[in-house]
Amino acid sequence: MLHKKSIDAFDRARRVIPGGVNSPVRAFKAVGGDPVFFSKGEKAWLTDIDGNRYIDYVGAWGPMILGHAFPPVLEAIRRTVNDGTAFGAPTERETELAELIISMVPSIEMVRLVNSGTEATMSAIRLARGYTKRDLIVKFQGCYHGHGDSFLIAAGSGALTFGIPDSPGVTKAVANTTLLAQFNDINSVKELFEKYGEQIAAIIVEPVVGNMGVIIPESNFLRSLRDITKQYGALLIFDEVMTGFRLSSGGAQRIFGVFPDITTLGKIIGGGMPIAAYGGSEAIMSHIAPVGAVYQAGTLSGNPLAVTAGIEMLKVLKNDSSIYEQIGKNTEYLSKSIHKACTGAGIPCVINQIGSMMTLFFTEKTSVKTYADAIASDREKFSIYFRAMLESGIYLPPSQFESWFISATHGKIEIDLTVEKNEEVLRKIGGV
């Protein structure tokens, strides 16, 4: 494939945008080469500015569960934009979206709309601290909750230590309010609570991890988190920005039957437009201004275009449960076909898949259940695989540690073509 226009566009972008991109993973540093610049998305396909077409497994990092340019969403946006793009004042559509979310997510009785997943998670931990009057939070190594200071924390020297800043600009004072545990290791959580329990405001966790590749919680892990937080009077926050409305119409919490105190949402609730939310019980949410003392505000929160897109998206997902069943079957078929091809090519791998999310790890391990398992995978082989698949017209997430997202528009043609291209690529790189 020719990428001359993308190369030129990247050169131009680097002169005025740090690294040439507005979000770091887009720069392709994890996989090598230059990023592709896109001009159009339709159903399961993307077209770049050179005219090349790709089957898309990024899906704008999750929200495109019904495919790119979903007609009801586009039509709703067209109708709404004629009335104006922003008011900075209440609209009835905000209430309609809130009512839809509450009707679908089991643990939410009230919800506040914000502008991004990062804003939702930052607000959620502020609310947890304000509600409990405690300062510490527990997060899990490898889980990503946006770029808020409290979340950019690297591992300390042991299970019972505070984290250390993972980025310049994050102060030690902020890092000293974040404790790190290991996902799928309940003992690491228990040890933290035994030492700091009365000071811990909340645990924040991706119920299914999507940001060190897909990692599925082991049996009773989430239930144990729920039990520990109740025992110590802390709150449990599920970051469902990625999994909310993707794994089911009620999110991961409905699948696992574990219900948090606060849930953060994003991606799908905007139908591709920038919007996010956090919600919980009326008792907890009533601590937010203007009712309570925990302050949070946003000029563009509840933007009418984003809200309208989200309403159309959630209506479809609420009223047609067969969507999840079909996408899940297609994703399972894709993951099993790729695993079979890897085995046939003599390439050891693990594929973690749940619903419409999956990650291929090139690894000698028999399972990938923890952060340590994930980082032990062969990232160089993934980079080679990524570039070969890209040249074959398959656009994968440009990082080993991201989820593939499958949409309702990935039909037999797209899945079979992906399986075929995967087999060709694996034969080429088998000896690498």
* 293: Cβ contacts below 8 Å, ≥ 6 apart: 130, 287
Cα–Cα nearest to 202, from 164, 237, 150, 161 = 237
Q: What is the pLDDT of residues 52-99, one digit of tens each?
A: 999 999 999 999 999 999 999 999 999 999 999 999 999 999 999 999
Q: Do domains 4-69+321-429 and 71-319 have the same CATH topology?
A: no
Cis peptide before 290 (omega within 30 of 0): yes
Q: Please check the confidence at residue 193 and state whether its pLDDT lies above 90.
A: yes
- Give the pLDDT confidence score for residue 157 in this predicted structure: 43
- End-to-end CA distance of the chain: give it in Å, rounded: 22
CA distance 169 to 122: 16
pLDDT band at 163 (very low <50, low <70, confident <90, very high): low
Angle, helix 186-196 to helix 221-232, in steps of 10 degrees: 10
Average pLDDT, the chain: 95
Token pair of 153, please? 């924390």
CA 410 to chain centre: 19
Vertex 202: Cα angle to 159 and 156 (nearest 5)? 25
CA distance 302 to 291: 18
Q: State whether CATH 3.40.640.10 applies to domain 4-69+321-429.
A: no
- Give the pLDDT confidence score for residue 2 in this predicted structure: 86
Q: Please check the confidence at residue 161 and state whether its pLDDT lies above 60.
A: no
- Give the pLDDT confidence score for residue 14 in this predicted structure: 97
- Give the pLDDT confidence score for residue 155 in this predicted structure: 58
Q: What is the pLDDT of residues 409-419, one digit of tens each?
A: 999 999 999 99
Percent of all residues in the chain with a pLDDT value above 90, rounded to a whole number: 90
Does the active-site annotation cover 40?
no
Q: Please check the confidence at residue 159 and state whether its pLDDT lies above 50.
A: no
DSSP assigned state of 204: E
- Give the pLDDT confidence score for residue 304 in this predicted structure: 96
3-class DSSP state of 82: coil
Average pLDDT estimate for 205-221: 96
Using an 8 Å Cβ cutoff, are 272 and 305 in contact? Answer: no
- Give the pLDDT confidence score for residue 158 in this predicted structure: 46
DSSP assigned state of 294: B
* 359: Cβ contacts below 8 Å, ≥ 6 apart: 213, 214, 351, 352, 353, 368, 400, 401, 402, 403, 404
- Give the pLDDT confidence score for residue 160 in this predicted structure: 46
Does the active-site annotation cover 135?
no
β-pairing verdict for 262-265 and 276-280: antiparallel
Q: What is the pLDDT of residues 315-370, one digit of tens each?
A: 999 999 899 999 999 999 999 999 999 999 999 999 999 999 999 999 999 999 99
R_g over Cα of the chain: 21
CA distance 229 to 236: 6
- Give the pLDDT confidence score for residue 428 in this predicted structure: 86
CA atoms within 13 A on the CB side of 358: 24
Q: What is the pLDDT of residues 106-144, one digit of tens each?
A: 999 999 999 999 999 999 999 999 999 999 999 999 999
Average pLDDT estimate for 254-262: 98
CA distance 268 to 70: 12
The residue annotated as part of the active site, out of 48, 56, 149, 239, is 239
CA atoms within 13 A on the CB side of 177: 15
Q: What is the pLDDT of residues 264-304, one digit of tens each?
A: 999 999 999 999 999 999 999 999 999 999 999 999 999 99
| Candidates 3.40.640.10, 3.90.1150.170, 3.40.50.300, 3.30.300.30; CATH matching 71-319 | 3.40.640.10
- Give the pLDDT confidence score for residue 154 in this predicted structure: 74
The domain limits of the chain are 4-69+321-429, 71-319
The residue annotated as part of the active site, out of 54, 57, 131, 144, is 144
Name the pTM for this structure.
0.96
The residue annotated as part of the active site, out of 139, 267, 369, 381, is 267
E strand or H helix at 48: strand 45-48
Q: Which has the minimum average pLDDT: 102-111, 136-145, 171-180? A: 171-180
Q: Please check the confidence at residue 182 and state whether its pLDDT lies above 50.
A: yes
pLDDT band at 181 (very low <50, low <70, confident <90, very high): very high
Q: Please check the confidence at residue 156 and state whether its pLDDT lies above 60.
A: no
Q: φ, ψ for residue 344 (rounded to 5)?
A: -65, -30
3-class DSSP state of 259: coil
3-class DSSP state of 244: strand
Does the active-site annotation cover 144?
yes
CA distance 124 to 309: 24
pLDDT band at 174 (very low <50, low <70, confident <90, very high): confident
How far, in Å, are 98, 129, 133, 279, 284 from residue 293 at the CA level?
A: 22, 12, 12, 16, 12
